[in-house]
Chain A
């Protein structure tokens, strides 16, 4: 057994917070550095303010031309994240905010071999 040091510099060029996986599994969509990412961002600040919880928030999208893709979603205040694959629409389940004064910001990163995905809207 040998003692040592691993020194990494991680730079985020995003305009928003991001969570990535370091030294994770190769199948992790966020493993290592992120290449070009198409970002779909919904500013959903206001309607959530007075809502303690909501359910079945959804995003509509259409994969075109059989594009394979992964969608990772995260919340900057909750490290709640996951991967969704091959769905035509997705429901995010229930988010619950213990502190209604938080401004929740939810971002979506799309990992795809091409950009043949049409995104619709977010709603609930």
Chain B
């Protein structure tokens, strides 16, 4: 049974920095989620290297049964294009920042990434609209798969 000793290092402060480019800070946006929800329509990702652009992004979501689902979004570009940015459509994923869902980007070492989320701000009233008893409810409609 091999034993490997760890390398211990103390990382700088902050180890990972999230900055909002705009008037409203990331913390303010984060805190406002709950008052408003943000439906993500499109993500524009810019990074200085190709490797970073191809990093997978985890989307965590809870379905209507309360089960956690994670979908790995794998950005794809033409490798010969040497592109430094890409557009990732979220069409059909129905993904909303609702303070419970998580967006897990993988950031390469010593790299910075720019995310531009095209959002639709949704109020509580609009967000909670769904199928009600006065509509035709199909049995097992959307069974399990909310993603």
List B residues 62-108 near A (Cβ within 8 Å).
72, 97, 99-108
B1 CB to closest chain A CB, in angstroms?
Answer: 6
A98 CB to closest chain B CB, in angstroms?
Answer: 15
Q: A3-B120, A5-B119, A23-B30 are in contact. Are A14 and B4 (CB under 8 A)?
A: no
Complex Cα–Cα for A25 and B103 (A): 10
Which residue of the partner chain, among B2, B58, B109, B121, contacts A4 with CB atoms under 8 Å? Answer: B121
Which residue of the partner chain, among B10, B20, B118, contacts A8 with CB atoms under 8 Å? Answer: B20
List A residues 28-54 near B (Cβ within 8 Å).
28, 30-44, 47
Return chain A residues, CB-CB under 8 Å to B101.
23-24
Q: A8-B21, A23-B33, A35-B14 are in contact. Are A42 and B103 (CB under 8 A)?
A: no
A31 CB to closest chain B CB, in angstroms?
Answer: 8
Complex Cα–Cα for A124 and B3 (A): 7
* Contact assessment for A10 and B115 in the assembled complex, using a CB-CB cutoff below 8 Å: yes
* Contact assessment for A33 and B17 in the assembled complex, using a CB-CB cutoff below 8 Å: yes
List B residues 23-76 near A (Cβ within 8 Å).
26-27, 29-30, 33, 38, 55-56, 58, 60, 72
Tally A-B pairs: CB < 8 A. Answer: 219
Q: A10-B105, A23-B97 are in contact. Are A35 and B15 (CB under 8 A)?
A: yes
A22 contacts the other chain (CB 8 A): yes
Which residue of the partner chain, among A1, A18, A79, contacts B107 with CB atoms under 8 Å? Answer: A18
Return chain A residues, CB-CB under 8 Å to B19.
8-11
B26 CB to closest chain A CB, in angstroms?
Answer: 6
Return chain A residues, CB-CB under 8 Å to B116.
5-8
B14 CB to closest chain A CB, in angstroms?
Answer: 5
A100 CB to closest chain B CB, in angstroms?
Answer: 17
B5 contacts the other chain (CB 8 A): yes
Q: CB-defined interface of A96-124 with B at 8 Å, one 1/0 digit per residue?
A: 00000000000000000000000101111
Return chain A residues, CB-CB under 8 Å to B130.
none
* Contact assessment for B105 and A9 in the assembled complex, using a CB-CB cutoff below 8 Å: no
Q: Interface of B with A (CB < 8 Å)? A: 1-22, 26-27, 29-30, 33, 38, 55-56, 58, 60, 72, 97, 99-123, 126
Q: Can you give 8 contacting A-B residue pairs, CB < 8 Å?
A: A2-B121, A5-B118, A7-B21, A14-B110, A34-B15, A37-B10, A38-B9, A41-B8
Shortest beta-carbon contacts, A-B, top 4:
A24-B102, A12-B107, A11-B112, A123-B3
